[in-house]
C-alpha cells in the first residue's frame, strides 16, 4: 500500500496565482520561505522557485497533479468581475470551487484559504462599518456577487475537523496597487474619454480601498493561524486598510497624481443609477446585434455613490491583523507604479 507523504506546512498552492492578487501573494510567500505551486489557466510571469501548472480549476485531474504534497491551498481565481457571462461565473466560481474542495480532500490538503469579497453582503445600499455577521445579499447586484456568495458558503461548509480539512474565507474590499488591471486602468480610460468630470451624489460617501500587500498579509496570517482549535475554522474575515475614505477623494487623488483633473460637477445619484439601469437593459436587448460595454454600469454607479466600508475588528482580534501599509503610502506607491498611464504618456 502506498504511504502518503505528510505535506510540509510550507508547501502551498495558489489557484489564480497568475492574477493581480495571486501574483502579489506568490511573491510574498516565496519571501517567507514557502515552496509555491501556481495553478492558473495562464502563466503571466516566471519566478525562481515557483512551479506553474496550467489548467482549468474545473478539471479535477489537472488540480490533483498540482496539489501533490501541498498542505495549504489559496484559492484566488475568478472570472473578471466586469464580465456579464452568467454561465462562466457559475462554472468557475461555483462548480469549479466544488471541484477545488474535492481535489483538496483527495490530495490530503490540510487548509484552504478562499479569497471571497466583502461584496457578498452588498446590495447597492449603504453599509457603514459592516461586520461579518451581516446577512449575505438577498438580491446580489450582479452574477459575480451572486456566485461569490455561493462560493464562500461552499468553502466554509466544507470545513471539517474530523477530516483534518480546515477552511477560512478572506473578504477584501476594493483591492488596489501595482499591476491591478481594473481600478486604475478603468479610471484612467474613463478620464481619457472625458467621462470623469462628474461626482455621483454629494461626494461624502465613505468606502474601503485596500492596498494589495495588506490583503496578502491578511491571507498569510489566516493560513498560519488556521488550526483545529482556533476560532478561524469556517469563518469569514474582512481585510481592509482600516481607513475608510471618501470614494471621490480617493478617485481624485489617483487622477490628480497621474496628471488628470479631479471630477467637480455633481450629478444626483438616483438619476445616474436610473440611467445606468436603462443603458444596461438596452445593451441586453441589442446584444445579438451589437456588443456595447458601458462605463457606468449599475454596479459601478452603486459602488461610487453609496457608503460601503467594513469593520476588520474580527481580523484584528483573531489574526492579530494590522494593515502594514497606510492608505497615503499605498496611493503614492500605486500612482508611481503606472508611469505609462500618466496624462500625455
Ligand atoms: N480586485 C478586487 O478589488 C477584489 C476585491 C475583493 C475580492 N477579490 C477577489 O480576489 C480574487 C483575485 O482577484 P484579482 O483582482 O487578482 O483577479 P485577476 O483577474 O487578476 O486574477 C484572477 C486569476 O484567476 C485565473 N482564473 C480565472 N478562471 C480560472 C479557471 N477557470 N481556472 C484557473 N484559473 C482561473 C485568471 O487567469 C487570473 O490569473 C478573486 O477571487 C476576486 O473575486 C478581488
Ligand atoms: C467609472 C467610475 C464611476 C468608477 C471607476 C472605478 C471603478 C472601475 C472601481 C471603483 C470601485 C471598484 C470596485 C470593484 C471593481 C472596480 C471598481 C468598480 C470591485 C467590484 C471588484 C470586485 C471586488 O470583489 C469588489 C469588492 O468587494 O472589493 C470591488 C469593489 C470595488
How far apart CA 155 and CA 236 sit, in angstroms, is 10
pLDDT tens track for 309-329: 999 999 999 999 999 999 999
pLDDT bracket for residue 6 (50, 70, 90): low
Ligand 2: distance of its center to the CA of 67 in Å? Answer: 32
Report the distance separating Cα 205 and Cα 128, nearest Å. Answer: 10
What was the pLDDT predicted at 3? 45
What pLDDT sits at residue 2?
A: 43
Say if ligand 2 is within 6 A of residue 79 CB. Answer: no
The Cα 36–Cα 159 span in angstroms is 23
Look at the chain and count its residues.
345
287: pLDDT confidence band, cut at 50, 70 and 90? confident
The three grid cell numbers given for residue 262, joined into one nine-digit string: 479631479
- Measured CA to CA, the distance from residue 231 to residue 333 in angstroms comes to 34
Whether residue 4 is predicted with pLDDT greater than 60 in this model: the reply is no
For residue 290, the model assigns a pLDDT of 86
SS3 category, 72: strand
Question: What is the atom index within ligand 1 of the atom nearest the CA of 77?
Answer: 24
Average pLDDT over residues 109-129: 97
From 34, 143, 144, 309, active-site residue:
144
- What is the number of H-type helices and E-type strands within the chain? 12, 15
Q: Name the pLDDT band for 294 (thresholds 50, 70, 90).
A: confident
Rounded-to-10 torsion of CA 111, 317, 122, 261: -110
In a mutational test of the pocket of ligand 1, which residue from 14, 21, 186 has the highest number of ligand atoms less than 8 Å from its CB?
Answer: 21
Per-domain residue ranges for the chain? 8-176+208-241+310-324
286: which 3 cell numbers?
A: 441589442
Asked if 136 is an active-site residue, the reply is no
CB atoms within 10 A of CB 334: 23
Res. 1 pLDDT band, cuts 50 70 90: very low
Q: What is the mean pLDDT of residues 28-57?
A: 97
* pLDDT over threshold 90, residue 7: no
Residue 99 clears pLDDT 70, i.e. is over it: yes
Q: What percent of the chain has pLDDT over 90?
A: 89
Q: What is the reported pLDDT for 78?
A: 98
Q: Which bound ligand lies closest to the C-alpha atom of 296?
A: 2
User: Residue 141: its pLDDT value, please?
Assistant: 86
- Choosing from 61, 77, 238 the residue with most ligand 1 atoms within 8 A of its CB, the one to mutate for a pocket test is 77
Q: What is the ipTM of this complex?
A: 0.97
Cell of 327: 492608505
The mean per-residue pLDDT over the stretch 156-172 comes to 98
* Terminal Cα-to-Cα distance of the chain (whole angstroms): 63
pLDDT at 63 (0 to 100): 98
Residue 173 has pLDDT above 50, yes or no: yes
8 falls in which pLDDT band (50, 70, 90)? low
Q: Specify the 3-state DSSP secondary structure of 256.
A: helix
Task: Name the band, by pLDDT with cuts 50, 70 and 90, for residue 118.
Answer: very high
Q: Could you read off the pLDDT of 148-159 as tens digits, one per residue?
A: 999 999 999 999
Which runs of consecutive H residues, i.e. helices, occur in 53-169? 60-66, 86-89, 96-107, 143-157
**pLDDT exceeds cutoff 70 at 215:** yes
Is 118 a pocket residue for ligand 2 (Cβ < 6 Å)?
yes
CB neighbour list of residue 28: distance below 8 Å, 6 or more residues apart? 213, 216, 217, 220
Residue 113 has pLDDT above 60, yes or no: yes
Q: pLDDT band at residue 229, thresholds of 50, 70 and 90?
A: very high
How remote is the CA of residue 79 from the centroid of ligand 1, in Å? 6
**Mean pLDDT score across all residues of the chain:** 95
**pLDDT for 180-209, tens place per residue?**
999 999 999 999 999 999 999 999 999 999
Identify the CATH class of 8-176+208-241+310-324.
alpha beta
For residue 315, the model assigns a pLDDT of 98
Residue 239's DSSP bridge partners are: 172
From its phi and psi, is residue 129 left (phi > 0), alpha (psi between -120 and 50) or beta? left
The fraction of the chain above a pLDDT of 70, given in percent, is 98
Q: Which of 1-5, 162-166, 285-289 has the lowest mean pLDDT?
A: 1-5
Amino acid at each position: 500500500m502506498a504511504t502518503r507523504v505528510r505535506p510540509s506546512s510550507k508547501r502551498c498552492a495558489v489557484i489564480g496565482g497568475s492574477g493581480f492578487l495571486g501574483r502579489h501573494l506568490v511573491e510574498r510567500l516565496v519571501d517567507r520561505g514557502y515552496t509555491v505551486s501556481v495553478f492558473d489557466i495562464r502563466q503571466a510571469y516566471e519566478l525562481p522557485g515557483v512551479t506553474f501548472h496550467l489548467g482549468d480549476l474545473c478539471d479535477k485531474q489537472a488540480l490533483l497533479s498540482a496539489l501533490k504534497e501541498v498542505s495549504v491551498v489559496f484559492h484566488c481565481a475568478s472570472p473578471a468581475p466586469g464580465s456579464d457571462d452568467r454561465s462562466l461565473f457559475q462554472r468557475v466560481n461555483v462548480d469549479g470551487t466544488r471541484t477545488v474542495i474535492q481535489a483538496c480532500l483527495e490530495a490530503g490538503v490540510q487548509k484552504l484559504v478562499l479569497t471571497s469579497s466583502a461584496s457578498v453582503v452588498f446590495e447597492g445600499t449603504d453599509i457603514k462599518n459592516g461586520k461579518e455577521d451581516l446577512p449575505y445579499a438577498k438580491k446580489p447586484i450582479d452574477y459575480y456577487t451572486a456566485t461569490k456568495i455561493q462560493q464562500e458558503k461552499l468553502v466554509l461548509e466544507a470545513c471539517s475537523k474530523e477530516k483534518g480539512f480546515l477552511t477560512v474565507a478572506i473578504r477584501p474590499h476594493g483591492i488596489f496597487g501595482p499591476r491591478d488591471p481594473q481600478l486604475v486602468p478603468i479610471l484612467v480610460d474613463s478620464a481619457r474619454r472625458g467621462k470623469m468630470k462628474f461626482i455621483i451624489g454629494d461626494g461624502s460617501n465613505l468606502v474601503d480601498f485596500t492596498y494589495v500587500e495588506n490583503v496578502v498579509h491578511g491571507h498569510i496570517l489566516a493560513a498560519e493561524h488556521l488550526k483545529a482549535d482556533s476560532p478561524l475554522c469556517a469563518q469569514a474575515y474582512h481585510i481592509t486598510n482600516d481607513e475608510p475614505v471618501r470614494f471621490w477623494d480617493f478617485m481624485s487623488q489617483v487622477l490628480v497624481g497621474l496628471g488628470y483633473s479631479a471630477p467637480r460637477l455633481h450629478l444626483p445619484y438616483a438619476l445616474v443609477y436610473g440611467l445606468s439601469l436603462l443603458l444596461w437593459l438596452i445593451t441586453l436587448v441589442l446584444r445579438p446585434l451589437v456588443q456595447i460595454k458601458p462605463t457606468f454600469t449599475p454596479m459601478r454607479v452603486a459602488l461610487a455613490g453609496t457608503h460601503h466600508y467594513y469593520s476588520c475588528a474580527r481580523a484584528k482580534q483573531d489574526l492579530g491583523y494590522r494593515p502594514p501599509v497606510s492608505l497615503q503610502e499605498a496611493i503614492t506607491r500605486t500612482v508611481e507604479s503606472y508611469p505609462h498611464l500618466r496624462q500625455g504618456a
